[in-house]
Amino acid sequence: MVEHNEKCDHTCRESCAMLNEALRRETASVRFYETVFDECNAPEVKSVLAEIVDERRVQILKIIQKLNELRAKSQAMDGITNSFS
């Protein structure tokens, strides 16, 4: 079993380093499963792999959406702050 020791620095601005890392890893896992899918000849295994890829893609979209929300919120806050300058 792989042990994960990631810690959030809580220093992000306009984005989230941990979400960006999650996005990177999810994208890599989709590429892996797609490669396995392409190499597989067993229909029942291909079916499971296709489901996994679809589920991972949904998670990727959720991560991207949250990153976009964080970016928009930060830009809005910057606009408010700049209006007082």
Angle at 51 between CA 48 and CA 44, to 5 degrees: 25
Token code pair at residue 66: 């949250």
pLDDT score at 82: 73
Angle at 58 between CA 8 and CA 42, to 5 degrees: 115
* Domain annotation covers residue 74: yes
- pTM: predicted TM-score of the whole model, two decimal places: 0.77
Average pLDDT, the chain: 86
pLDDT score at 84: 76
Cβ neighbours of residue 11 closer than 8 Å, sequence gap 6 or more: 17
Domain count for the chain, please give it: 1
Q: How confident is the model at residue 11 (pLDDT cuts 50, 70, 90)?
A: low
55 pLDDT higher than 80: yes
Domain of residue 74, residue span = 17-83
33's enclosing H/E stretch is helix 17-39
Residue range 30-45, pLDDT digits in tens: 999 999 999 999 999 9
